Structure 1
Amino acid sequence: MINPDDPLNLQVQKQAKIIEALVRRANRQHEIGSTAYSAFQSAIALQGQIWAKTRDLERTTNELESVRYDRERTRKSLTDALASMEGGFALFTDGKLEVCNDLFRTLLPDLSRQLAPGLEIELYFDALRNSRYLVSTDGRMSTSLTEAQRGPVGAMVLSFVIELTEDRWFQINMQRTSSDNIVILQTEITGIVRQNRSEKENLIDKQALYLQAVFENMSAGICTFSQDGEVMMHNTRFRELLGLPYTLLQKGTGLQQVLDFISVNALVLDSAALNVNLWRERLAHQGRLRRRIRHAGGRVLDLHAHVLPDQGFLVELKDVTLESRATEMLEKRVDERTLELTQANKRLTAQYEAQARVEEELRLAKERAEAAVSSKTRFLAAASHDLLQPINAAKLLISTLKETTKDNPVSGTVDRLQGSFTSIEELLHALLDISRLDSTDTALTPSDVCLGTLMQGVVEDQAPLAARKKVQLDVVPVSALVRSDQRYLMRSIQNLVVNAIQYTPEGGRVLLGCRRRGDKIVLEVWDTGIGISPKDQKRIFDEFTRADNVPIGSGMGLGLSIVDRTCRHLGHKVSVRSKRGVGSIFSIEMDLVKGQPQEPTTYLAPAGANEADMDLIVLVVENDEDVLFATTQKLELWGASVLPAASTEEALGLIRDIGMPPDIILADYQLDNGDTGVNAIRQVRSETKTKVPAIMITADRSPDLVRTGAQMGFTVLTKPVQLSRLRPLIDWKTRPQNRSGAGMKAVYAGE
């Protein structure tokens, strides 16, 4: 029934009302009660309640008195504190004046009557602006009030300065202390303002003295003129530099008078500088005037005139005599040095022109040398076909002759003849290889090469040589891919194996194998030959170089040079380890390629069947009569039926005559009148509507021909053809399982 949050006096009133109601109820019950005992009992209970309420009322009254006393004491303390403050203080609650001290009331006497509790803060600021005692403000009064009303609680103090009559100054500070309260403090700063003003005036006076002292002691001459061209002030240095009398440079003297005096007394040699109209025009249009003048006394002066903010102008004179003399000396030295440099430049130009002529001659010589090398390479490439054609024909004829004269007394002569042509063939191949590797446009074609296939092919090719020398030739099988040029890598391996066999005595051994070293693989050729001394190991890779212990007539010394050139072009590392009288180990280090070798194998084992059982129809397309005759003789000796043709047209005529496709085509690449073996193979297949197996026998070693063979499905053999490779290749390509074309991928069979 009684809210403990109500004020104490309101709680006492409510309790009194409750007690009065209880008394009335007790009296009413007493009148209505039926017996005296019940009335007495009710009175006793009511008496106890009245005593309890009375005690509560007394306690509440005491607390109320204590609160009233504390409140009065707090208000008195606040009043005393406000009265003791040095500045004015006011508290505005909900935008209305709550309390302020006397200093706040008396700051502006014409506002004292309005400063009563409840005055709105906006009305107070309006009255402040309109007070007759207010002289000026710093312009932040309105913005400070707005920021104080809208700013957050506890924000920074906002202040502005006001000036009152009688040169009094006050700083007004405002701060929002809570969501409803704004406190305003008035602090008098008259003493501080007057002190600052006095210090500023003293400082200005001192600065004037300082400026005057500096002005007089400047090394440059200074003179200022008014807008009308009259002297305002000058320093002594200005008068001394021009040699003017003291009486002339007085305040009010005109510029024209000064210039006339200088002209009459010939103080300045440059008469153009004394034209007053020039001064006015330059200063009016450019705002400055700069001249270098020479004084009659020998001094050199720099004259600078600048327009001042009040439209007057300032003239500055600097003595630059020493600087001018130094400049003249420097210019003289520069002229002398320029002359020297010009002469030196002429000499250098002559030397440069001579050097340019020498360089041009060297360039032309280099171009002629490169052209000669390229011409040589092109000549060898073009001549290789003509060079290899008769050798190829001779090899075929010698092979045929050797087979037909086995039991004839001339068989020995035939063997020697075959050996001579073999030497010629090897020397020609070596020269062609060196020419290609040294050519400026050498284009090796690295690809993924099956190393085991190359090794096996080289061993099979050189097995007859090893058998003749009674040297054991072995190969350790390997299944690895390397990144290299198939033709030149095969030639390098072949040269190492041939050298090993050649320099290993009867009963010795040659071993070809590989070792893995991380992501590298090292191909090694071991032999038990004569060995190489340490001094010879450093030079055996040079052309036409052989070791000291090599027998005379053992070769021209080109094989290892070809190996070295090939490995340098391909990025392989070639090395040798050898001990004289024990043997040698030649090695080639190459990068391994991940993957498995691709089939089919590019080298085939020699046929074991009878050489005269080749029951095939062979179309031979060859424009060289000797090669065509020798090839025909050899194929017929093997048992084949040969259709010899010198051109594609002749080959097509033979096919039409027999009315059936041949079993295999052997074609030369370069035919007459622009005809090629590729065209012959394509035309025969088109005529017979059959993909006839084909082998291209050519001296052309270009990668483009190999790629063409891969596209058309024919094999490339280089001239002079090795019969030990030709016969098994024909047998393999004409097998029933291969004639359908399933296994007839292009094969480059090398040399």
Structure 2
Amino acid sequence: MIDPNEPHEIQIAKQAKIIEALINRAERAHEVGGSAYSLFESAIALQGKVWEKTKDLERALDTLGRASSELEIAYQTQERIQRNLADAMVAMEGGFALFSEDRLQVCNAQFRELLPDIEPLIRPGLEFDDYLAAVNTSKYLNPDENGVIGRTQLLMPGRPGRRFSSFVMVLRNDRWFQFSCRLTSSGNIAVLQTEVTDIVRENRREKNRLIDQQAHFLQAAFDHMSLGICTFSSRSELLIHNERFGELLGVPLPLLKKGTRFQRIVEHVERHEILDRKDRRSDFAGWFRAIRRNETVQERFRRRDGISLDIRIRSLPDDGFIVSVMDVTAETQAAALLEQRVQERTAELMEANRLLQIHADEQRKIEAALRQAKEAAEAAHTSKTRFLAAASHDLLQPINAAKLYLSMLTERVGEPAANEVVSRLNRSFTSIESLLQALLDISRLDSSGAEFNITSFDLGSLLQGVAEDLAPLATEKGIDLRIVPSTRWVTSDKRYLMRCIQNLVVNAIQYTERGRVLVGCRLSRNRVRIEVWDTGIGISQEDQTRIFNEFTRAGGAGKSTGMGLGLSIVERACRHLDHPVRLISQPGRGSVFSVEVPMAVPGHASACENPVMEPIADGGLDLIVMLVENDADELDAMTQILESWGASVLAASSTAEAAALMQEIGTAPDILLADYQLDSGDNGIETIRTLRALAGAEIPAVIISANRQRDFVRLGDEMSFAVLAKPVQPVRLRALIDWKTRARVA
């Protein structure tokens, strides 16, 4: 019922109320009680409770007594602290005041007496802002030196966490006080006024001493300078000068005393004609206008005795100006000498420039002649390339027809002597064909627009094709030709790579009298190195540097070893394809040629690639073949070969004639063989499109042409026709017809 934490007065009051209530209850119980025993029992119980409360009251009174003693001690301590604070404030040399909750609590006499006109206001309870306002209006402050003092200036110094700031107040009687303000942790404001007049005056004296010392040093520096120096005030009165100034301008020392005006010095120089100004007067007003604009005035004069002077006038920060005079005689003479040399050198350069101009004109004429010669050479080269490209078809046409006729003649001639003649003719035409193909390849590779069809393909099938093509040549010479099978895929132009390997193998066979030729592959990181080994005559070190040139053969080679174009084609093609070619050879031991080709990820061969050629199948060719060829001899020869195989041939010389024949027989042919280049702008591609459109079906087709451009091969893939290169080999033609017609039947 009684909280021991409550004040003792409250606890005693509650206990008194409890006792009074218990007494009243006892009296009422006596009035209405039934028996003496119950009254006695109640009195005993009441007496026990009274004793307990009495003990509690005694303990409370004891606690209250101790608290009173502690409070008395605290009062005494506070009074002692206040006396000590008062003694300390009296002993302080400066003024001190303490503001609590923005009101003045205590201050010393110095604080009140600093500004006599506001002393009546300084009493306990004075607002801090009112105090600052009174200070700002005090007549004892120097208004020129002090700004407005505000709360923001004192209590918000601008740096977080900083609780102290100070500034200096200047009184009218040249007294200086440092006004310090500190914000205590309890939110009180302590103000301290400290007189710093002695320090300020000492600083003034030290400053004046340093200025005098610097002036002495400056004068000493001026006196030791080779430059004439003189400074003037804002009123053009002389302040400092050195002896050199008077010597250079011929001004006497009495005139160079402190306070002499600048205009007097100028008038003295002009009156005595010390400077040779060539009838020009000094623009004294103009000089001063330039100085006021913070510009530098600079003029060069010549004394009567030949001395050259450079005079410069610059403005100073205090609106004064400084005049400097420099003897530039040596520089002037050097400049004159330099100018003379420059003039001489200029004349030499002008003469050299004239000669160079003549040489440049001659050079331009030579360059123009060379440019014309280059253009003529390029035009000739372009004309040669166009001629060879255009002539390839016409050159191959008769060779193709002759080889077809020889093929039929070989089958029909039975006499041995006639067979020998036909065989020789075949070899001659084969040599002509090889030479013509080599020349055409070199022409294509030398042209700026050489095209390559870069694809990924199986290297093993390419090597197998080389083996099948060159096996008869190796057998004829008695050379063991071996091809190591490979399953690698490479990235290159398949036709040019095959041509390069064929040329290397043919060279190896031609330069090997006995032994063998080995073709295989090695891995070199991410590339495949195709190597051709032979046991031939070898190549000397001297010949290895020129063996790749046109019409060049190794020393010791016989007359039947070709025209020396094969390796030239290999070098050109591999250079364009970025396939490094290497040669290792030792005379009498043999040679190793190698070509490095990028390795590719294995894939599937294109369905439009030429099939592996097989021997001519037995039995007749029971097909209707549409043959389109503009050359009459080749058309006749091809017709006879196809009819000899049992085919029914529809011969035409143009697309229109072929379409008319197909409409006449009322059915589409089984296969279409068309030359690419026909007459009057017609071509085999247009023939394929026209006949397939008339038939409403995709007729198997083969284009016979010498054109191997990339776009032409890509078009063959898109239109699903095969390409057979001229001159036509009957065995390849028959195999290609069988492959295309079997695919249609399937």
Q: Which moved more, 1:490-499 or 1:436-445?
A: 436-445
1:678–1:109 distance in 2 versus 1, CA, 3 Å: closer
Are residues 1:673 and 2:680 paired? yes
The superposition leaves residues 691-729 of structure 1 with CA deviations (integer Å, 9 ceiling, x where unpaired) of 322222222332232223223322222211122211111
Task: Give the deviation of 1:68 after TM superposition.
Answer: 2.6
* 1:602-641 aligned within 5 A: 602-610=610-618, 613-641=620-648
User: Given the superposition, is the C-alpha separation of residues 22 and 282 from structure 1 closer, same or farther in structure 2, using an over 3 Å criterion?
Assistant: closer
Q: What is the CA distance between 1:3 and its match in structure 2? A: 8.0
The offset of 1:590, in angstroms, is 0.4
Q: Could you tell me which amino acid in structure 2 is paired with residue 380 of structure 1?
A: L
Partner of 1:369: 377
Alignment check: 8 A CA contact 2:489 2:600 kept: yes
1:160 and 1:706, CA in 2 relative to 1: closer, same or farther beyond 3 A?
A: same
1 CA distance for matches of 2:155 and 2:368?
Answer: 89
Whole-Å Cα distance in 2 between the matches of residues 153 and 23 of structure 1? Answer: 62
| Residues 1:364 and 1:45: Cα distance change in structure 2 (over 3 Å) | closer
2: CA distance between counterparts of 1:215 and 1:150?
46
- Superposed displacement of residue 16, structure 1: 6.6
Which residue identity does 1:623 align to in structure 2? N
1:590-641 per-residue CA deviation (whole Å, 9 max, x = no partner) reads 001224132335232223522x612222222222222222222222222223
3-state DSSP class of the match of 1:734? helix
Written as runs of structure 1 = structure 2, the 5 A alignment for 1:320-331 is: 320-331=328-339
Please state if 1:174 is matched with 2:199. no
Secondary structure at 1:184 match in 2:
strand
The verdict on how the C-alpha distance between 1:500 and 1:290 changes in structure 2, with shifts beyond 3 A counting, is closer
1:494 corresponds, among 478, 498, 502, to 502
- 1:339 alignment partner, SS class: helix
User: 2:560 corresponds to which residue?
Assistant: 553
Structure 2 counterpart of 1:203, from 184, 202, 210:
210
Which residue, 721, 731, 738 being the options, matches 1:714?
Answer: 721
SS at 1:183's partner residue?
strand
AA of the residue aligned to 2:330: L
Cα distance per residue 1:411-463 (max 9 Å; x no partner): 11111111111111111111222222223433333232332332232222233
What is the aligned partner in structure 2 of residue 383 from structure 1?
A: 391
In structure 2, the CA distance between the partners of 1:321 and 1:697, relative to structure 1 (3 Å rule), is same
How far does the alpha carbon of each residue in 1:505-547 deviate from its partner, in whole angstroms, 9 at most, with x for none?
57x5544443333321222334555555666555543333334
After superposition, residues 524-543 of structure 1 pair within 5 angstroms as 524-527=531-534, 537=544, 539-543=546-550
The 1-side partners of 2:239 and 2:119 are apart by 55
User: Is 1:82 matched with 2:92?
Assistant: no
Determine if the alignment matches structure 1 residue 738 to structure 2 residue 744: yes
Tell me the secondary structure at the aligned position of residue 499 of structure 1: helix
How far apart in 2 are the matches of 1:152 and 1:278?
A: 52
Amino acid at match of 1:553: S
Counterpart of 1:455 in structure 2 is 463
Quote the Cα distance in structure 1 between the aligned partners of 2:229 and 2:588: 106
Aligned match of 2:35: none
Is the alpha carbon distance of 1:143 and 1:137 closer, same or farther for their aligned partners in structure 2, counting shifts above 3 Å?
Answer: farther
Segment of structure 1 superposing worse, 94-103 or 512-521: 512-521
Alignment partner, residue 747 of structure 1: none
* Equivalent residue letter for 1:702: Q
Q: Is the 8 A contact 1:231 1:255 kept in 2?
A: no
Spell out the pairing of 1:49-64 with structure 2 (5 A cutoff).
52-64=59-71
Alpha-carbon distance between aligned partners in 2 of 1:122 and 1:709, rounded to the nearest angstrom: 102
For 1:115 and 1:701, the matched residues in 2 are separated by 115
Match of 1:568 in 2: 575
SS at match of 1:294: strand
Structure-to-structure mapping, 1:465-504, within 5 angstroms: 465-504=473-512
Range with greater deviation from structure 2 (76-85 or 171-180): 76-85
1:311 and 1:583 map into 2 onto residues whose CA distance is: 100
Q: 1:203 to 1:473 in 2, by over 3 A?
A: closer
1:400 CA displacement = 1.1
The match for 2:127 is 120
**3-state SS of 2:621 partner:** coil
* Structure 2 CA distance for aligned equivalents of residues 538 and 276 of structure 1: 88
Does the Cα contact within 8 Å between 2:136 and 2:149 map onto a contact in 1?
no
Shift of the alpha carbon at 1:87? 2.2
Greater mean deviation of Cα atoms: 258-267 or 694-703? 258-267
Using the TM superposition, name which of 128-137 and 219-228 deviates more: 219-228
Is the CA contact (8 Å cut-off) linking 1:458 and 1:494 kept in structure 2? yes
- The 1-side partners of 2:67 and 2:237 are apart by 96
Q: Distance in 2 between matches of 1:286 and 1:192?
A: 38
Task: Give the alignment of 1:28-43 within 5 angstroms.
Answer: none
How far is the alpha carbon of 1:191 from its aligned partner? 1.0
1:447 is paired with a residue whose SS is strand
Q: Are the aligned partners of 1:155 and 1:175 in contact in 2 as well (CA < 8 Å)? A: no
Give the alignment of 1:153-552 within 5 angstroms: 155-211=162-218, 219-221=226-228, 236-244=243-251, 255=263, 258-259=266-267, 262=270, 265=273, 267-274=275-282, 289-305=297-313, 315-407=323-415, 409-504=417-512, 509-527=516-534, 537=544, 539-552=546-559
AA partner of residue 405 (structure 1): V
1:697 alignment partner in structure 2: 704
Deviation at 1:589, TM superposition (A): 1.4
- Given the alignment, which residue of 716, 720, 734 partners 1:727? 734
Displacement after TM superposition at 1:233 (Å): 7.9
On the 8 A contact 1:151/1:176 being kept in 2, the answer is no
Percentage of identical aligned residues: 47
Aligned match of 1:655: 662
The alignment yields a C-alpha RMSD, in angstroms, of: 3.9
The Cα offsets for residues 393-417 of structure 1, whole Å up to 9 and x where unpaired, read as 1111111111110345311111111
Give the counterpart letter for 1:129 in structure 2.
Answer: N
Q: Relative to structure 1, is the Cα distance of residues 68 and 529 closer, same or farther in structure 2, using a 3 angstrom cutoff?
A: same
- Residue 99 of structure 2 corresponds to residue 92 of structure 1: yes
What does the per-residue CA deviation read over 1:215-270, in whole Å, with 9 as the maximum and x for residues that have no partner? 66654445677899888886654443333456667867784895487256474242
Moved more, 279-288 or 403-412: 279-288
CA–CA distance in structure 2, aligned partners of residues 437 and 337 of structure 1: 56
- Mapped partners of 1:15, 1:686: distance in 2: 124
* TM-score normalised by L of structure 1: 0.85
User: Which range is displaced more, 102-111 or 242-251?
Assistant: 242-251
Q: Is the 8 A contact 1:606 1:724 kept in 2?
A: yes
Tell me which amino acid in the other structure corresponds to 1:181: N
Give the deviation of 1:646 after TM superposition.
2.4
Residues in 1 aligned to 2:712 and 2:64: alpha-carbon distance in whole angstroms: 128
**Partner SS state of residue 491, structure 2:** strand
Which amino acid letter does the alignment assign opposite residue 644 of structure 2?
L
Helix, strand or coil for the counterpart of 1:271?
Answer: coil
Q: 414-423 vs 287-296, which deviates more?
A: 287-296
Mark the runs of 5 or more structure 2 residues left unpaired by the alignment.
31-38
Separation of aligned partners in 2, 1:176 and 1:689:
106
Partner of 1:746: none
> Map of 1:580-619 to 2, 5 A cutoff?
584-600=591-607, 601-610=609-618, 613-619=620-626
- How far apart, CA to CA, are the structure 1 residues paired with 2:103 and 2:2? 33
SS in 1 for 2:280: helix
Residues 11-30 of structure 1: pairs in structure 2 closer than 5 A: 11=7
| Structure 1 residues 40 and 452, CA gap change in structure 2 (3 angstroms) | closer
Task: Supply the AA of the counterpart residue of 2:701.
Answer: A
